[in-house]
Amino acid sequence: MLSIQELIRKKRDGVALTDEDVRTFIQAVTQKTIQECQTGAMLMAIWQKGMNITETVTLTREMMSSGEVLSWPKEWEGLVVDKHSTGGVGDKVSLVLAPALAACGCKVPMISGRGLAHTGGTLDKLESIPGFNINQSAAQILKILTSVGCCIVGQTERLVPADRVLYALRDATSTVDSLPLITGSIISKKGAESLTALVLDVKFGRAALYKDLDSAKELAQSLVSAGNGLGIRTGAVLSCMDGTIGRCVGNSLEVMESLEALKGRGPDDLMELVTTLGGLLLMMTGLVSDQSEGKKKISDAVIGGAALSKFQAMMEAQGVANETARTLCSAHTKDYSALRRSEHQMELKTSAEGVVQDVDGLVLAEVLHKLGAGRSKAGEPVNHSVGAELLVSVGQRVKKGVSWLRLHYESPAPTPDQIDRLKNALTLGTDARTQQTLVKELLLPHNTI
């Protein structure tokens, strides 16, 4: 067995690591028998020299095996599914998709994250609902899945401990953007959920981690290969992320929009992602014969109210008071008073007449981040009430002086510079425009049923 120094040298010199080499490294990380500087050196060597697919799959498997791996009843075989998104502006897909999948007969143990980017992650959104508890043990997850069919929870202490160590050091050593390290981090956590099928929403564009389709596709292919390498049927959707998903950005506002979607009033772009990702998962489990049947089944679960009932049951199972959950999920009302509303609102007006050509989602997200909707460091609080509502959509003709954005803020108030940035995020023109579809390409698993 090679020493840690020899392993670092081997990777530094561009030699592929064997399965045993990778195992030695991950076990040393997990058991804390490696110096932090050595872990950092290995991460930098991987960043510089890369890993082939065999190394990446082994890295992912060893990370997954570094802690507890969830197990499920035999009768759930073939039904346990999840999705992962690389992150977008206003990305509330999980809040609609998880209950829709549960309504279609799947089991969805969605282990999610907090946002480190512009605005909160899925867990931050859910924590804007009073009483919602994202901390659930493996036994509690099993109980919720048995009764409801879906849960959305945080990573437990015992799941993939190697990832927690590596994730923190990747940030400190500027190795976050390494393809094998991103792949290992994402897929090891999903592997620990013992999934049948996994769908990945890999985003590209102005407001995404990857700015162009080709680099996003490279990540998608790496993730799909690693997932399939672990025995999970894994597919990916490549979707465009230039603007926002839906019309609301910010934690409480996104919960409201998700509930509106679950009541059958969701924006087209959000529902496109929900039905595409869900349809693909239903096809991969064999519950439907093709993707169009899967999309229809997901759509019916949302429009018919079955997904809304599952969301209400999930809220109650995860600590929300029955009365609160019932009021939020009342199909015929829009009573969202249980969700915190910001102390101040401000509306921005159009500076000219024209057709809405574009709204820059990245600018919106960056300003909201500064106003408290997101965090810069793990553990920092977020202000759930901070956010923005788009009052116009691409292709809409507007007159001068019409409100196009409602900003929700508390302290700090937006600076004149931030208000200017927001004003410049709107592009008006004379050309007729139609809302483009977000999904550009699908990568199917190697072994779909």
- Complete DSSP assignment for 256-294: HHHHHIIIII--HHHHHHHHHHHHHHHHHHTSSSSHHHH
Give, for 444, the enclosing helix (H) or strand (E).
Answer: none
Span 105-130, pLDDT tens digits:
999 999 987 655 566 789 999 999 99
Q: Which of 69, 123, 80 is nearest to 105 (CA)?
A: 80
Q: Where are the alpha helices (DSSP H) in 65-192?
A: 93-103, 122-127, 138-147, 161-172, 179-191
pLDDT at residue 94, rounded to an integer: 97
Catalytic residues: 84, 163, 170, 185, 189
**Identity of residue 429:** G
Place of tokens 């000219």: 352
Q: Which of 163, 9, 19, 193 is nearest to 98 (CA)?
A: 193
pLDDT at residue 447, rounded to an integer: 47
Residue ranges for the chain with pLDDT beneath 50: 447-449
Q: What angle do CA 47, 154, 373 make, to 5 degrees?
A: 80
Q: What angle do CA 236, 122, 221 make, to 5 degrees?
A: 15
pLDDT at residue 119, rounded to an integer: 66
Q: What are residue 85's DSSP bridge partners? A: 201
Span 311-367, pLDDT tens digits:
999 999 999 999 999 999 998 888 899 999 999 999 999 999 999 999 999 999 999
3-state secondary structure of 358: strand
Q: How far apart are CA 20 and CA 27, in angstroms?
A: 10
Task: Domains for the chain: give ranges and CATH numbers.
Answer: 4-50 (1.20.970.10), 74-330+439-443 (3.40.1030.10), 344-429 (3.90.1170.30)
pLDDT at residue 221, rounded to an integer: 96
Q: What are residue 107's DSSP bridge partners? A: 80
pLDDT at residue 449, rounded to an integer: 37
pLDDT at residue 168, rounded to an integer: 84
Side-chain half-sphere exposure of 436, counting CA atoms within 13 A: 13
Q: What are residue 153's DSSP bridge partners? A: 111
Prediction pTM value: 0.94
pLDDT at residue 55, rounded to an integer: 98
pLDDT at residue 131, rounded to an integer: 97
pLDDT at residue 381, rounded to an integer: 84
pLDDT at residue 448, rounded to an integer: 42
| Helices 4-12 and 36-49, axial angle in degrees (round to 10) | 20
The answer to whether the beta carbons of residues 83 and 93 sit under 8 Å apart is yes
